[in-house]
Structure 1
């Protein structure tokens, strides 16, 4: 065999495996592309790269018309499930109680929480908003100890004293006209800190937290002058103050061997006790306190404001609610605190509050991310895509709520509704941990306002706007007069 022939054989011997590899790779690639093409994506318009329909989404949200201007037209065009692109991410928006149930109950299995980078950085990377699986369950259980029935039953007398003192000092001390929304924000904020955490509220604390909130949905650009930059600075101030409180609490608990988290019943004590045991870190304590403050005060104050808005517009409902509270006071001594049994009797009041939250949900919904390809309703939601469920997708749907645009508190007694149709605080493993606290706050405040004051709203038809959460655009001014006993 000549040298040229040997060279040719060796060359083919070397090239053959490479050619086989290339052919195999091409085959597999085309097969993968073919499989992708077979996947049926939900209908919809992704529009422009990166931007997509982000501007339309946020413009509708700011006007508190997310459902009417953004979701409803696309549902009519594409159906209950459709695709779009928001904030640079391909996103599937789902509507209906079954969709809510499917995605909310499959947390950690098919989807995971997926908030914008700005929200994660400002709320805390180690909060229950971001943790998954067993870690999430452990942290939620730890927080839930203070927010469960037993913990809240102990808290009720503190809440009553706090609310009465607040009304007497802040309302009556300011004349007879105040901003109801601003006032309830101050009240619910101080309740979280002083009644639940055992931390005294200092002047300017609420304003600092509000600066953080302003940046949670803004682009995560840490450049001087941007919303996110200001929010990040405020977050650092909060961290510094909370770190001081946490370390002082730890020192106090370690110095007193007989002191433990059960003595004062405060959530901060429970969290610090877990930190002393090595179960959680200092950062986890701080991040979860920050998240809890936002979750427990901002949405609750809006729910309270909307409850009074609806009562002002429907005097017949107000008369029925007022009678419920008068009946409760008949069996109480003057200035005697409410009990958990009294709160259980406020059935119609809770119907009014729930109907108010149905029409004006404190949250518009939340984002998830597909952690695997998801087959749903004949469509494929690819791994990595976002999924957005909305409260409006069911709250305003005649399929679940007859005369959905009407205010009918009795529907929560008379009508049967599917699970996950009424979702003002979410659902599944990530349902708002402060839901029961919010309920008790609303009922206690309503009780003391309606039994101690005559009142009326100056602008009962006041429009609602969003930035980034919903709020009454004029602050909901209220005029009140102490009742003559």
Structure 2
């Protein structure tokens, strides 16, 4: 109801807005003419541009087929458009990805919609540049480097086994995407941060996620309004946890003694290196970055295994081999993880075909000359996973599922499900552990099959199986 009122009010003012924006647009185009060789493309209507085509394709998870691919065929790998009110240059290909992502802070900077910034936090590493970004990422990285991950492996094993015992045991059917969401959420909070997950926390976080790409309009009933309310709830909870942790650590003679990421962040806060707001915002961002993309990657891995029984057979053989060298109840180690080479090939091939993100926006902080074109300062630049993942140049027969293609090296910046450069996903290795450990315990303990093999994937705002990927399970005999 309220959203309808806003909708019709805005459309009532649209002719005037269109006139003003058209005037500004024509002046800008005239000013640029003859001075800059812009990439080819169509800007669509002033203000709106091709936003509706972009969002409609995104909602159906058809961005490549309906938006990117037709324009690549028409204009080439680099083309211009207008999305969400901003003139945007879309670049495709490993060289373009490398050029763009490796020049973070020099030629481009992160550029997210205002709603995303408000909900994720202005003091998260998502919004930090240069030295401050490097410092905060360094603090987070201490828990996600090899030594930190090695300490996490037994905790992850215990979490996965507990999750299966409490959420899978005795059931015939379940939704694997929802199940892995619950699991990855608890892993981030309890194993990485050391914060106990309380009932309702996941639902509150998901209400925030629903508004990250919606118009930043604080009108009662709107998606952003509901998301902002949920963000306030989360912030109150985290402020309480952080302040209690600070008091506990200030009373203690040794800091960071539990090795948890929250302890490292709070230690930095005690030393005056990090503000309380930075701790809160980076915890919020980390939870979103780690749990949603991981659960989708796991779901798509199981989808591919169900459709390719030969691959499932090889994976099962790999994990039975690992299990045969363990005593009953013994946890996995990092050495066991290293042996899961084929499993990781399957997971990577699943993420290639079903990337957890479609790409990311940057903003040109200076005029950029690339491939004979000029990307003007202030324009948005969008790199895409599809530009390489679905490209015959980098992956032969790209729409086929072939895990063995990862046995040999893949071109740098061609496989980018978690980005690249200085802003490559900090939780990439944690996601890898999460996927491999979960696959190990499921394939060695359960038989399963998909109830809806042709279930479509949709986006809102991130990709997910539209039915939650229901499966039928039965325990394996020892």
TM-score by length of 2: 0.93
Aligned to 1:73: 70
Aligned to 1:21: none
Aligned to 2:473: 480
In structure 2, the CA distance between the partners of 1:221 and 1:453, relative to structure 1 (3 Å rule), is same
Aligned to 2:52: 55
- Of 241, 255, 265, the residue aligned with 1:260 is 255
Aligned to 2:8: none
Aligned to 1:18: none
- Of 153, 157, 166, the residue aligned with 1:169 is 166
Aligned to 2:231: 235
Aligned to 2:12: none
Aligned to 2:344: 350
1-structure distance, mates of 2:427, 2:304: 23
What secondary structure is seen at the aligned counterpart in 1 of 2:127? coil
Aligned to 1:190: 186
1-structure distance, mates of 2:446, 2:38: 56
2-structure distance, mates of 1:114, 1:34: 25
Aligned to 1:299: 293
Q: Which runs of 5+ in 1 are unaligned?
A: 1-29
Deviation at 1:417, TM superposition (A): 2.6
1-structure distance, mates of 2:418, 2:453: 25
Deviation at 1:176, TM superposition (A): 1.7
2-structure distance, mates of 1:296, 1:33: 45
What secondary structure is seen at the aligned counterpart in 1 of 2:413? coil
Does residue 85 of structure 1 match 2:82?
Answer: yes
1-structure distance, mates of 2:471, 2:183: 16
Aligned to 1:25: none
Does residue 451 of structure 1 match 2:448?
Answer: no
Aligned to 2:265: 271
Aligned to 1:308: 302
Aligned to 1:4: none
2-structure distance, mates of 1:155, 1:96: 35
Does residue 200 of structure 1 match 2:196?
Answer: yes
Q: CA RMSD in A?
A: 1.2
What secondary structure is seen at the aligned counterpart in 1 of 2:377? coil
Q: What do the CA deviations read for 1:444-485 (whole angstroms, capped 9, x no partner)?
A: 000000001111111122110000000001110111111111
Does residue 432 of structure 1 match 2:425?
Answer: yes
Deviation at 1:34, TM superposition (A): 7.4
Aligned to 2:364: 370
- Of 407, 410, 413, the residue aligned with 1:417 is 410
What secondary structure is seen at the aligned counterpart in 1 of 2:320? helix
1-structure distance, mates of 2:250, 2:366: 46
Q: What do the CA deviations read for 1:193-213 (whole angstroms, capped 9, x no partner)?
A: 000111110000000000000
Aligned to 1:13: none
1-structure distance, mates of 2:453, 2:348: 19
2-structure distance, mates of 1:346, 1:402: 24
Runs of 4+ in 1 over 4 A off after TM superposition: 32-36
Aligned to 2:16: none
Aligned to 2:218: 222
Q: Quick check: which has more Rg, 1 or 2? A: 1
Deviation at 1:121, TM superposition (A): 0.5
Q: What do the CA deviations read for 1:262-314 (whole angstroms, capped 9, x no partner)?
A: x2110000000000000000000000000000011000000000000000000
2-structure distance, mates of 1:283, 1:223: 25
Deviation at 1:259, TM superposition (A): 2.9
Q: Which runs of 5+ in 2 are unaligned?
A: 1-26
